[in-house]
Amino acid sequence: MSPPIVADTAGLLRALARTPDGGASFPEYEAALTFASRVILPGPVLAGVDYFLRDNRTAMRKLVAEVFDAGTRYEYELCSHRFTSDRRLQHPACPSCRSGAVSTDENAQCA
């Protein structure tokens, strides 16, 4: 197992991409997801992937099922405030984001 990773939109889309014969288009990205001890998926990333997969609802439904299955290593994070100090990426309704506090607490949640 590799250390936990925080997924971003481009990396997740590459990990999900398939060749016409069904193989991984970007095997190194697929391997990163497969071997990570946890895959932390911030809400804005899931929204971005949803946009890019708007013409492939089957793939999106499969991803959402995996993300919200407690048996997988995915961890959905509604807010990305614990991952960034960039105010443009923070959630305006989150008290932690509004205050500028960026938590390094692994269990921190957006209020």
Q: Where are the domains of the chain?
A: 5-77, 83-111
- Please give the helix or strand (H or E) that residue 10 lies within, else none: helix 9-16
Cα separations in angstroms, 35 against 11, 27, 41, 90:
14, 12, 15, 28
Tens of pLDDT along the chain (111 residues) come to: 888 899 999 999 999 999 999 999 999 999 999 999 999 998 889 999 999 999 999 999 999 999 999 899 999 987 655 555 554 455 555 555 555 544 444 444 554
Cα separations in angstroms, 85 against 15, 19, 38, 78:
26, 37, 22, 16
| 11 CB burial (10 A radius; 0-12, 13-18, 19+) | middle
